[in-house]
Amino acid sequence: MVGSAYIRAYTRNRVDASVAPETMKRSKSKAPGLKEGLIPQQSTQAPPPGWAELHLEIAEASTISLLLVDGYQPPALLIANNNSICEALQSSPEHVKLCDPYCGQAHDRATRENEITHYQCHAGLQCFAMPLAIDADRMLAVIGGRAFARGIDYRETVERFRSGDLQELASDEIFSNIIFADEADLDHAALRISKAAAGFKSATAKTLSPEQAAPVATLASGETESPQDSPFEARPSVVSVRGAESVTLADSIRRFAEQIDASDPAHTYRSIVARSADLVQAERGSLLLFDESENRLKMTAAQGIPAAISEVAPIAMGQGIAGVVMRENRPLVATVDEMGQLSLPERKYKTRSFISYPIAIGRRRFGVLNLADKIGGGAYDIRDLSIIELVAPQIALALERAEWQQRANQFQLMSLTDPLTGLHNRRYLEARLAEELSRSKRYNYPLSFMMIDIDDFKVYNDLNGHQAGDRALEITAQCFHAALRKIDVASRYGGEEFSILLPQTTLEEAGIIADRIRRKIMTTKFPHGASQPGGMVTASIGLSSFSPALNSAEAIVRAADRALYHAKSHGKNRAYAYQGIQGTGPDGPSSQ
């Protein structure tokens, strides 16, 4: 990796951002004892005092690259956790032009559009750029990310270094600091930067001009909305709250983030509604999440509403108050009368005042939070809206995490479960076997294992068809559920073959369980069981157990497989254990 120590030895080569990339000239000067011709990555100009520490903290917490830039780059004012691929490309006068349309022009795009912009560069890296108003004399921006979000992007870039257009840059240093992240990680970092910049601006407000300072919305005692104001309010950046009340509110907001963060998405949704309602003293609240595929809002969590969530119909984008709030992406504090709408009696509202707030990160919209029926019967005002504004980033982050957790749960379920039988699949079994074997070795616990095969399954399939065969596999899985304990792990190993992991179970105990499984299958009525050679569906079972001779996952599985073969070759519908081959029952094979 190209080190910042010798990069800082270069003098800064300022470049006007208005100059076209192809006409730009970059420094190729050489510092004594250092590599020749490399483009400096970090400027000798200082960042705003105090920002460097925040910059580093955010990069470490987010585990992505962060650059502070004040024009075309390289060089940057600050670099934290730089991706070694980016550093190699942008240090090279021959290859930096590949990055010019992306990170090179990122500062210009961010400051021109005055909002966060996302892009994927030529190397497949996900990045964002956002303006940063923390210096009265310079228009600064942050470039964040430089991360691979997909494995295929990383593989394609590696291939370019191995045999493509980047071969001449290839070295061990190229891959010394590769960063992987998803869109959520980048969004979280952007929110952290915004929050840090807001605090930084208030701390240095005297140095900012009125045009550069963020607008401050204050609500004086007794101040109300003017009648001509639109019910859609601009989002205030700062709320003025004085005295002990500000301490209480700050403490409430700090607790808010902790209370809504849960590993279970459903709990997160309920907590968002409950904690938001507490902040503005609402007796009624609901969270509607946006289903992008259907372009509709669906109620996900609620409190204080008379109907069950399942009975609440989805709301199309642009329809109703929540649909309009979602489409416009602007919060609304109003009364039903102001909106010219009637409140249906069956909804049993206590007051007509409400808040409807869109939850979003950048341009990504998650849904709408509704709050109504203020305790005491008062009307909601700008101050109440501003409180929700303060916690909206935490809500957005919690929804982002919940969405990813839900996807992860679904992906894990799909990747670790056999879709036909609902049992775990072989991938899960192998991971779990390794885990349980390690535990057995550490604590000297017993561990047993079974391989189970449906006898004459090919005959069943040929006579009755594959659909009937699939049904037979499903029924077999149900037999396992009936015969096994909660700690036992049943898996579909492949085809008509199953496996069962029995943690903390001796071979003798496993033999009893095996016989119970065998009898359960034999006595269960299968749709075409009478057509089988023995007039019923049966299974053969092979067992093995952890021992000094069988002390690896491969050895345990192989031994059970050999015992299964022995059971098959000795008449089927039997259970044998690998013990030089000895049967698990008193007569050798389990009793039939």
Please write the tens of the pLDDT for every residue from 58-97.
988 888 899 999 999 899 999 999 998 999 999 999 899 9
Please write the tens of the pLDDT for every residue from 389-436.
877 877 887 887 787 667 656 655 556 788 899 898 888 888 889 888
Supply the pLDDT for residue 344: 57
Q: Are 477 and 496 in contact (CB under 8 A)?
A: no
Measured in Å, how far apart are the chain's first and last C-alpha atoms? 68
- Which helix (H) or strand (E) element contains residue 333? strand 332-335
Supply the pLDDT for residue 154: 74
61: number of Cβ within 10 Å: 11
- Which helix (H) or strand (E) element contains residue 246? helix 243-260
- Does residue 179 form part of some domain? yes
| CATH number for position 479 | 3.30.70.270
> Among 152, 177, 205, which residue terminates a domain?
205
Q: Which of 68-77, 251-260, 558-567 has the lowest mean pLDDT?
A: 251-260
**Identity (one letter) of the amino acid at 503?**
P
- Does residue 226 form part of some domain? no
The predicted model gives 429-448 an average pLDDT of 88
**Identity (one letter) of the amino acid at 44?**
T
Do 37 and 157 fall into the same domain? yes
pLDDT at 364 over 70: yes
Per-residue confidence band for 252, with pLDDT thresholds at 50, 70 and 90: low
Q: Are 500 and 450 in contact (CB under 8 A)?
A: yes
Mean pLDDT of the chain: 78
- Does residue 238 form part of some domain? no
Do 18 and 139 fall into the same domain? yes
Separation of alpha carbons 85 and 100, rounded Å: 15
- pLDDT higher at 57 or 157: 57
Please write the tens of the pLDDT for every residue from 504-543.
899 999 999 999 999 999 999 999 889 898 899 999 999 9
- Which helix (H) or strand (E) element contains residue 78? strand 78-80
Residues tagged active-site? 496
Supply the pLDDT for residue 228: 38
- pLDDT higher at 179 or 144: 144
> Among 375, 408, 441, which residue terminates a domain?
408
pLDDT at 368 over 60: yes
**Identity (one letter) of the amino acid at 130?**
M
**Residue 506 gets which letter from DSSP?**
-
Do 376 and 271 fall into the same domain? yes
Supply the pLDDT for residue 10: 19
Do 184 and 48 fall into the same domain? yes
Separation of alpha carbons 115 and 194, rounded Å: 11
Do 172 and 27 fall into the same domain? yes
Residue identified by tokens 């550490």 is 442
- Does residue 345 form part of some domain? yes
120: number of Cβ within 10 Å: 15
Do 50 and 196 fall into the same domain? yes
The predicted model gives 339-363 an average pLDDT of 74
Supply the pLDDT for residue 236: 34
- Does residue 400 form part of some domain? yes
Do 431 and 396 fall into the same domain? no
Do 38 and 172 fall into the same domain? yes
- Does residue 455 form part of some domain? yes
Tokens of 389: 């504004």
Task: State whether the Cα torsion 529-534-535-539 is positive or negative.
Answer: negative
Do 299 and 389 fall into the same domain? yes
pLDDT at 250 over 70: no
Please write the tens of the pLDDT for every residue from 261-311.
667 888 889 999 999 999 999 999 999 999 887 889 999 999 988 888 888
> Among 408, 439, 468, which residue terminates a domain?
408
Strand partners, 498: 452, 492
- Does residue 414 form part of some domain? no
Supply the pLDDT for residue 262: 67
Supply the pLDDT for residue 209: 40
Domains of the chain: total: 3
| CATH number for position 263 | 3.30.450.40
The predicted model gives 472-500 an average pLDDT of 92
Do 37 and 111 fall into the same domain? yes
* Phi-psi map region of 50: left, alpha, beta (phi>0 left; psi -120 to 50 alpha): left
Please write the tens of the pLDDT for every residue from 197-247.
888 864 544 443 433 433 332 223 333 333 333 344 333 333 333 334 443
Supply the pLDDT for residue 172: 61
Supply the pLDDT for residue 133: 87
Domain range spanning residue 346? Answer: 243-408
Q: For residue 17, which of 76, 90, 105, 117 has the smallest C-alpha distance? A: 105
Per-residue confidence band for 587, with pLDDT thresholds at 50, 70 and 90: very low
The predicted model gives 29-52 an average pLDDT of 71
Supply the pLDDT for residue 400: 75
DSSP of 129-141, one letter per residue? EEEE---SS--EE
Per-residue confidence band for 591, with pLDDT thresholds at 50, 70 and 90: very low
Do 48 and 13 fall into the same domain? yes
Supply the pLDDT for residue 231: 42
pLDDT at 565 over 60: yes
Do 280 and 200 fall into the same domain? no
Supply the pLDDT for residue 237: 34
- Does residue 418 form part of some domain? no
Task: Please work out, in degrees rounded to the nearest 5, the angle formed at the alpha carbon of residue 328 by the alpha carbons of 326 and 333.
Answer: 80
Q: What is the number of alpha carbons within 13 Å of residue 470 lying toward its C-beta?
A: 7
Supply the pLDDT for residue 499: 96
- pLDDT higher at 503 or 155: 503
